[in-house]
Amino acid sequence: MTFSHNERFLGLTVGVPLPKDQFKVIDIVIYQKTINHQFELFKQQPFVFDEASPRFTFCKENIYELLFLTKEMVFAYNFEIGGDNMRLIHKIDNILDKQPFQCIFSED
């Protein structure tokens, strides 16, 4: 579970554990803060990127994009659009041995 930088959204992944410390994300769930400072369901949708890390970070430039890490790349997923949309941010030259668990990005 993670908050957007402006704390307007709260997001989490829903999925199932797989063998060898792997995890399959099935759904993305996003909650939005209300005027009363409570969180209500904003969007829940299927997630189609099998090898993405189960933890993500909200993109600072676009609060509707989530940043994910796979063994081969960093990509942005727009939860407002949903589906299989993906914007490549960085291709990893030295491919990781297994699925990463989370991604932490610097402020810049």
* Residues β-bridged to residue 3: 10
Is 104 inside any structural domain? no
Is 101 inside any structural domain? no
Q: What is the mean pLDDT of the chain?
A: 85
Give φ, ψ of 89 to 5 degrees: -105, -45
Q: How many domains does the chain contain in total?
A: 1
What is the reported pTM?
Answer: 0.83
**Range(s) of the domain holding residue 84:** 2-91
Q: Which of 3-7, 17-21, 36-40, 81-85 has the highest mean pLDDT?
A: 36-40
Query: What is the C-alpha separation between 80 and 55, in angstroms, rounded?
Result: 18
Half-sphere exposure of 33 (CA within 13 A, CB side): 11
What confidence tens digit (pLDDT) does each residue in 42-69 have?
A: 999 999 887 888 889 898 889 999 999 8
Is 107 inside any structural domain? no
Is 99 inside any structural domain? no
Query: What is the C-alpha separation between 58 and 25, in angstroms, rounded?
Result: 16
Q: Is a pLDDT exceeding 60 seen at residue 98?
A: yes
